[in-house]
Chains A and B, each alone.
Chain A
Amino acid sequence: MMSQPTVPQLFWVEVAPFVVLCIWALAIILADLFLPAERRRVALPLGFLGVVLIAYLSIQAFEIPGNPFGGMLTLDTFAFFCIVVILVGGGLTILISPRYVQREHIPHGEYTALLLFAMLGMILLAVSNELITLLLSLEILSLSLYILTGIERHNPRSSEAALKYFLLGAFSTAFLIMGIAFLYGATGSTFLVTIAERLPAAGQQSALWVFVGFGLILAGFCFKLALAPLHMWAPDVYEGAPTPITAFIATGSKVAGFAALWHVVMSLADWQAMTQNTFYVLWIIAVFSMVIGNFAAIVQKNIKRLLAYSSIAHSGYILITILVIASVPAVRTNATQALLYYLMAYMLMNLLAFGVAIACGRKGDSNIEHYAGLARTSPLLAAAMALAMLSLTGVPPTVGFVGKFYIFSAAIQAGYLELAIIGLLASVVSAVYYLRVIVVMYMHEPSREAAETAREPVGAANSLALLVSSVMIILLGIFPFWFLGLK
């Protein structure tokens, strides 16, 4: 049975982004160890440099689509887009970090290295074509994020969040592994391509195991993507984690998660045992997420919790595309485009919102009321936040609108008119709480304390990040084909 081990062909160019990213992160750890304390701040700029380098290497690697690393990775157009989104998100996250890291006395080296490791996990997740690789990259990602969540060691909320995230995450991973085991048991392979090939031959018995396995994998992903009913961890973790990390969890890990889910779903979708009915559960999860996320967000007073619930809702919107991809092959291309575009849009608007939250947050406080009169004290920040909120609401001509438009039109083309209507209604509801932030910023008097104490300067890196994401939110909203035309 056991095949002879052979030396896998390595395709250096193709695997370079992953290898180099790993080495880069290790090098940052080492550099941090041996540098004198006052020069350790170099870690974050180094990290950013690394992201740029990886971006360059990725473009090289994706010149020709291929399956390097013993066929365990697949470098296709879809993965390319995901990696672009992840790298943009990672780069922006590093840019919005310095002030916060400085203010909260977070160790620079570990912070940067773990961010890079998390990114490594994400980009691997986006290209992994095999279940074990998928699991491992998911774990690289998750473990890094667990630590990053608790990296504010003096802050009990941060530790609490990390503990919750870790325990529940480990719990969900167990189900994911279980699901993978079922799929392997039923088909005898962990390669998604091979699984897809062997499925038609599967008997009644194995078909059942495939279903159970896929259900478990889906449940595992629902946790990672904070989809209802497995969303309960998200508000606590989002609130407790350091703000840039919250931004990264909210954006990067979702992008990677959806990318991986896409791969899994694609391998099963063409199996004739999967009828349209099969994916009804996705329908339910999407609706639940949109409704619970949007309604629960209305009563939140903390901006991070608000964005947590909003991210649950947005996961619901995005899941619609997965549903369409899985159940209606005719609309698959459109839905995949919608998925990719929305991931980018979602990434940009959330990072912008969190970027502003970092820029005007004071120590340990992210209550919405503290944004009162922000338009008076720092109009540019308020404008950026307003832009993020409007884009999240889905007001044209921002990316948020175009993204929702793509998703709902894909849903309608696939015949899920009711889902589009529910989504639309949900986004009408969402206007209430997004708008409240704007109202507070523009129409409330700043508190005396806020008006008197000068805000600390935003910092060049963060300003750059805010500028870039604002401009991209508008430009990609007006010229969406710039993004979709990349490849």
Chain B
Amino acid sequence: MLDYVWLVPFLPGCAALVIGLFGKWLRTRSGYVAIAAMLGTIVVSLGCFWDILHGKGPFTQHLFTWISVGEFKAEAALLVDQLSVVMLLVVSVVGSLVFIYSTGYMKGERGYARYFAQLSLFAFSMFLLVLADNFVLMFIGWEGVGLCSYLLIGYYMDKTWAADAGRKAFIVNRIGDFGFLLAIFLIFWTSGTLTFSGVFDQAPVIYKYGGGVVTAITLLLFMGAVGKSAQIPLFIWLPDAMAGPTPVSALIHAATMVTAGVYMVVRCNVLYSLAPTSMEIVAIIGAATAFIAASIGITQRDIKRVLAYSTISQLGYMFLALGVGAFAAGIFHIFTHAFFKGCLFLCAGCVIHAMAGDNDMFHMGGMRKQMKITWLTYFAATLAISGFPLTAGFFSKDEILWATFRSGHLILWLVGLVAAFMTAFYMFRSLFLTFHGESRAPEKIKAHIHEMPRSMTFPLVVLAFFSLVAGFFSIPKVLKGSAWFEHFLHPVTNRGAEILHELHVADPTPHVPELELLLMGASTLIVLLGIAAAYAVYIKGWPEIPKAWAQRFGVFYKLSFHKWWWDDLYNSTFVQGTIRLAKAAWQFDIFVIDGVINGTAFMVRSVASRLRKLQTGQLQAYGVGMLIGINLIVLLFLLTR
């Protein structure tokens, strides 16, 4: 099956092309074309998984030579190993479910075919990113994902905010991409190759442990990851990205796009292992993001915004895992997070659909009566994301916290723990506000609330099921499990550790099972506490306590509600700054050059004033400008010789 891996990007790519070209004719059938392609990728991915599982592995498929300059070659080649096959499964399964859901959600929307074409293109780019066997191809997928997200976020193009959100996503991502590209250049400059195997095999030889070059490379790579995976300080685009249709948010948040940054860092774990400073920074940024995003999530009123901040927060956890060297744990969290976050977003889509487009949780309430399936699945996913014992999120999050603790980052562990509390709190807050209590919706909408069609509830059930059980793939050894997932990824994720071992850099502290159990208990307790608090405030205390708290903790409330004023800070500094700089460059043309010329002219006015009248001022200004320019060029040329 490995030989057919090219089909994985090829199928959705073809679907995008076919729908793009014949969308007018296909109309609603375009959804089926896209879904068929995605189902095809599941089959191929499963086949590849089967082969890899049976020890046929790492497999590289050369398609053609893409760029070849001198000794430098960029091959279009696909790499299948344990890591990429896991990602393939996640993307294809969650992707397919989102596609199926979309047929119901987008029914009757304008541009139905366009939507599916872009969605397929999105999947194509993500597959390319995951399967790339070198940095260049990965970058192409990387850019493609950014581009498609830009198109999809701006899907409701007649709305200014949607357009702005799309643009924000793209530009913020470009900033990250800039770092990524620089990193690629640096890697090429130092190692002379860009294939993963080539770079990673040489890495221990050419890069000194903790050296400046490898630190710079990893930090620049991380800059790309920060942009794509919405970490501090570039996370501002993701909450706005929910301006797109809800299934798109589900796809972006759950399976594709944001996980790309995590995937890339894991892929480069060899380099990161050689750069302890970078690891430290990754861990700190991850923990800080997990905390800040969770704190923002507590006060948001928009259900999709809450979910968006929870995504950022969970991504923070993943980076925390990577930063402390638990690469497999990071991927495992991607894996579980894909299911419950996908489920949550799709549920939110159902809720919003039922509310006739209203996102505000304070207008909802009591919806469990009319929407049983949605409520139950949302409940399951909320349990999972909060880390309720034995759900998927419990295993993956706990592994991260344990790894953090074990590597000696006590403060980061504490931050993670507090964030876990907040996560449980705000997720259950959203659950209670939306589905429990009395309905606060206007009468007209209340009558409209109903369960969604089968095409939309089916993906919910599947995802909810996985949210509950996906954790069993990797039950930690202390709980008499096999930690199968970690074991499976071992060949890829442990390469960094192996290199460190060869370099005789200190090993992590030895394993103490009792301690691990203790910590597990602690985080369970914290989660239960969070749930209880949410219950006390939003079920028992509603509506007095939330109001009273908002007033009593005014400063914190505002800080959280206004997202720590992060957007405003950017707007007043970078955005305005760039605009001003642009104007300055333009003014340079019309004022500075003119000014210099006028200044010169002023001195020689007695001579020149008559000549000046013969020509239009502008043309003469250009002429004098040119003269100055030419003199400068010749002079510089002589001076530097």
Contacts and interface: CB of A to CB of B under 8 A. Distances in A.
A71 interface: no
Interface string A261-299: 000000000000111011011001100000110111011
A442 B640 contact: no
Nearest to B158: A445
A324 B188 CA distance: 18
A209 to B, nearest CB: 11
Nearest to A175: B630
A417 B586 contact: no
Contacts of B151: 442
A125 B92 CA distance: 54
A411 to B, nearest CB: 9
Given A292-B589, A409-B185, A219 B634 contact: yes
A212 B70 contact: no
Contact of A396 (B144, B167, B629): B144
A300 B626 CA distance: 22
A230 B630 contact: yes
B622 A212 contact: no
Contacts of A87: none
Given A295-B586, A338-B69, A424-B178, A218 B158 contact: no
Interface string B625-641: 11011101111111011
A232 B625 contact: yes
B147 A395 contact: yes
Nearest to A278: B641
A413 interface: yes
A6 B415 CA distance: 90
B163 A439 contact: yes
A480 B157 contact: no
B185 A167 contact: no
A216 B634 contact: yes
A394 B584 CA distance: 25
Interface stretch (B272-280, B506-514, B560-568, B574-582): B574-582
A395 B69 CA distance: 19
B189 A417 contact: yes
Nearest to A425: B178
B67 A480 contact: yes
A171 B626 CA distance: 9
A219 B67 contact: no
B174 A428 contact: yes
Interface stretch (A27-35, A76-84, A400-408): A400-408
A319 B633 CA distance: 14
Nearest to B631: A219
B1 to A, nearest CB: 26
A145 to B, nearest CB: 17
A431 interface: yes
Contacts of A342: none
Contacts of B162: 443
B585 interface: yes
A301 to B, nearest CB: 11
Contact of B640 (A277, A412, A424, A431): A277
Contacts of A331: 70
B200 interface: no
A410 B69 contact: yes
Q: Report the interface size class on chain B.
A: 35 or more
Given A396-B140, A424-B182, A480 B66 contact: yes
A198 B443 CA distance: 94
Contacts of A233: 622
Contacts of A429: 578
A107 interface: no
A431 B136 CA distance: 20
A163 B619 contact: yes
Contact of A397 (B65, B140, B181, B588): B140
A375 B171 contact: no
Contacts of B65: 481
Interface string B545-582: 00000000000000000000000000000000011011
A169 to B, nearest CB: 10
B540 interface: no
A233 B626 CA distance: 9
A333 B70 contact: yes
A480 B584 CA distance: 38
B606 interface: no
B638 A211 contact: yes
A292 B582 contact: no
Given A229-B629, A431-B174, A406 B67 contact: yes
Contact of A230 (B154, B618, B629): B629
A401 B143 CA distance: 11
B166 interface: yes
B166 A298 contact: no
A134 B408 CA distance: 71
Contacts of A421: 182
Contact of A281 (B158, B189, B637): B637
B69 to A, nearest CB: 5
A281 B636 contact: yes
Contacts of A232: 589, 593, 622, 625-626
Contacts of B583: 299
A424 B182 CA distance: 8
B64 interface: yes
Contacts of A409: 69, 72, 185, 188
Contacts of B144: 396-397
Chain A to chain B: the 9 pairs with minimum beta-carbon distance, closest first: A295-B585, A443-B163, A298-B582, A215-B634, A229-B629, A215-B637, A219-B630, A443-B157, A396-B140
Interface of B: 64-70, 72, 136, 139-140, 143-144, 147, 151, 154, 157-158, 160, 162-163, 166-167, 170-171, 174-175, 177-178, 181-182, 185, 188-189, 578-579, 581-586, 588-589, 593, 618-619, 622-623, 625-626, 628-630, 632-638, 640-641
Interface of A: 163-164, 167-168, 171-172, 175, 208, 211-212, 214-216, 218-219, 222-223, 229-230, 232-233, 236, 273-275, 277-278, 280-281, 284-285, 291-292, 294-296, 298-300, 331, 333-334, 337-338, 375, 390, 395-397, 401-402, 405-406, 408-410, 412-413, 417, 420-421, 424-425, 428-429, 431-432, 435, 439, 442-445, 478-481
20 contacts: A168-B626, A172-B630, A215-B635, A219-B634, A232-B593, A236-B618, A284-B636, A291-B585, A292-B588, A295-B582, A295-B586, A296-B588, A299-B582, A397-B144, A402-B67, A405-B67, A413-B70, A417-B189, A439-B154, A478-B66
